Structure 1
Amino acid sequence: MLGNDGDREDIKDGSCEGNQNKWGSAELPKNIRKRKWGRIIAVASICLVVSVSSLINSAGANFPGNDDGSSESASVEAVFLTGSLSETLSIPEIAEMAAPTVVEITTEVLVTGQRTPQYISEGAGSGVILTEDGYIVTNNHVIEGAQKISVRLVSGDEYEAELIGTDEQTDVAIIKIEASGLSPAALGDSSTLVVGNQVVAIGNPLGQLGGTVTDGIISALDRDITLDDQTMSLLQTNAAINPGNSGGGLFDGSGNLIGIVVAKSSGTDVEGLGFAIPINDVKSVMLELMEHGYVQGRIELGMTFLDIASNQEAMMYRVSQTGVYVLNVTSGSNAAAAGFRSGDLVVSLDGTKVSSAAEITSIIDSFEAGEDVEFTVIRISEERSLTLTLEESKPSD
């Protein structure tokens, strides 16, 4: 059974102990600085990127928080640390380099029970520092509904964070702390990964073990996994992932951030099945959230889907065939106005046959808000055509 590893759970003492300055230095470790000249040149290149990025930001160049009214997003290279080291490092070297970029996150959520008065539920997760001035990426499900978000650095310093923006589709959120001189992660290129590549996961398992380092390999690429009714194409790894790792970093053999840890597969007989969002899939999303607070142009379908891939699942849900079904329709949405109902079997979109929610998402991504898309569905053995006017997804107040 798949589940988000960052699901909230009551923490007895609300603490996140461990890693007191274990990797407190923001500098490269001495054993890395002493490596051959090729490494020194590569490190100098990173410093140059950071300097250029700092100059761009200090000049108010389009991003973030610019006041010139421009809506053009800055490039990834201008905002994040990229073009990083390519030499293979040892696990201790990766840990010492990447650990200062990963933070512990704790949340407080006001819960109202049916038979109990309101109470505060505490949750825990992880995050990865993106910029020197305090922008941090994590999972949307880690901070969803939180009244208070706290961040603890590897140095032990703690900050209250501001929520900048979230994107449910990719399960990504951006928060910010008022700090400077932080150690941002270097963004890698997840498109170059192959099965068997060495990876290192760093996060805050169980909400109390911040800075935990586990290693493994890329077990598979492009795994279509459904989490909270969203189907995502994820990296699979056998690096140990546990509750609290959500939002943490998955780093390659050179210390580059190539994935955001999002989930693990759970069960008494399940071991070594962890998943991460490929960093290439969310680079532009992170920029949009930092600049606008949401992803502009993102389509809100007004309904969620359920993949039924086997005859056993079809029997369990009491449907006659496999395929992708409408699970829920949001009241007042364009989907409700178009006549969609829970239980509709989606056959095709815009003339293209579909059999999974991922295929629906792929087709919808080629359209823009305001355009009409024709769906063919089967309802009670009758084929119907429904026209949906796509609307832009915007955050509510």
Structure 2
Amino acid sequence: MKFRVSIFLFSVFFNLCRVQSKNPNQRIFEDNVSRTVSISIENEDLLGKKHWVGSGFLISKDGFLLTCAHVIGDYHKKFVVRLGGSGKRYLGKVITSDLKKDIVLVVLETDDTFDYFELNPTKRAERGQSYYSISSPLGLEESFTTGVVADPERIGVDSILSEISFLQLNQSILPGSSGAAIFDVSGNLLGMAQFQLKNSEYNQQGVGFAILSKYLSEFVSSVPLTKFSNDEIQRGIVEVPTITDFLVQNLNLPTREGVLISYLVEKSPAEVSGLKRYDLIVEINGKKISNNDEMNSFFRKVARSERLQIKVIRNRSENVFYINP
């Protein structure tokens, strides 16, 4: 009996030693890798060798994720997203973006459910705190990085957005790592890897910076999490961001109020309806439309099954078109 008890105690002790001796960073990697992704924008082919040009991370169980807008650039088609851990590939598409802050919301075309990082606008890193990241530097997917926070809110880094603060890291952000989650030992999101500053006079490692979690939260909270892109929601209408004096003069527009159509998605409901490029939308379903925000708000509230009456100004004359579901 004593012999059996001794064997049992030895077994318990041995297993405890194994648990305690396990590399803690390995545990952190395993706990978070399934919440991270790699991104390829070459084509829509899920198979074959891919060049992973950027990283990202999931923010909802139904496949919404964030990355940097510069990772996607002006690529307008669907692209391939590789899930960390399993390596499973999905097609992704851009839902909306904030080019000024370099943030883009992407959705995966699937009914699968995912692990994800929770956005917490009040979560603030501390100077000297350890951080972790899983990304695809130079196309090397699932690369694990750790470092310390050099400054939790560095201001004045971006000459254009001088009032915006960034999370300064003690490691550089290599190409392919942009868009990766920066998180703490407990898996709490601290920010999103964005860029590095490097002195061209010295061949040395640059200083890395990340978009703070609070800005990511503000961006996501400002848009509804819908699996339809702006183009799909707007029935194929792509608008000009701002109607300038130059456009008013050269297109002979009677007013700056309204939404100018930049182009129409091929074979979309809007194109089929008869709308054309440079039509000025001034009314939808009897509601006056003065700017892009009003039109975007209208489209997000209206049912996609509803028929739309669009009043536009073309060649200084009013015309009415109907967009069917």
Q: Tell me the TM-score range normalised by the shorter chain.
A: 0.5 to 0.7
1:139 maps to amino acid: C
* 1:181 corresponds to: 113
Q: Which amino acid aligns with 1:98?
A: N
Change (3 A) 1:240 1:91: farther
Three-state SS of the structure 1 residue aligned to 2:41 is strand
Choose from 162, 172, 178 the match for 2:93: 162
Q: 1:243 to 1:187 in 2, by over 3 A?
A: same
Give the TM-score, by structure 2 length. 0.56
**1:306 corresponds to:** none
What secondary structure does 1:289 align onto?
coil
CA contact (8 A) 1:174 1:289 kept: no
CA deviations on 1:302-353 (whole Å, 9 max, x unpaired) are 7xxxxxxxxxxxxxxxxxxxxxxxxxxx76489xxxxxxxxxxxxxxxxxxx
Equivalent of 1:204 in 127, 136, 139: 136
* Larger RCO, structure (CA 8 Å, separation 6 or more): 1
Match of 1:286 among 220, 223, 234: 220
Q: Aligned runs of 1:1-397 on 2, under 5 Å?
A: 90-108=24-42, 124-148=53-77, 149-154=79-84, 155-179=86-110, 180-188=112-120, 191-206=123-138, 208-225=139-156, 229-231=160-162, 232-266=164-198, 267=200, 268-271=202-205, 273-291=207-225, 332=246
What is the one-letter code of the residue matched to 2:26? P
| Change over 3 Å in CA distance of 1:96–1:225 after alignment to 2 | farther
Distance (whole Å) between structure 1 residues aligned to residue 92 and residue 116 of structure 2 = 16
Q: Give structure 1 stretches of 5+ with no counterpart.
A: 1-29, 36-88, 110-121, 295-299, 303-329, 335-390
Q: 1:394 & 1:212 partners in 2: Cα distance?
A: 43
Q: Distance in 2 between matches of 1:395 and 1:160?
A: 28
Q: Distance in 1 between matches of 2:156 and 2:80?
A: 29
What is the alpha-carbon distance in structure 1 between the residues aligned to residue 132 and residue 122 of structure 2? 14
Question: What are the ranges of 5 or more consecutive residues in structure 2 without an aligned counterpart?
Answer: 1-14, 44-50, 231-239, 249-290, 297-325
Q: Give the superposition deviation at 1:239.
A: 3.1
Counterpart CA distance in 2 for 1:290 and 1:200 is 29
TM-score by length of 1: 0.47
Deviation (angstroms), 1:227 = 5.2
Aligned residues: 213
Whose radius of gyration is greater, 1 or 2?
Answer: 2
Q: CA deviation digits over 1:191-211, x for unaligned, max 9?
A: 4322111101221111x2111
Shift of 1:245: 0.6
Contact 2:136–2:143 (8 Å) recurs in 1: yes
Contact 1:174/1:290, CA 8 A, preserved across alignment: no
CA distance in 1, matches of 2:71, 2:131: 23
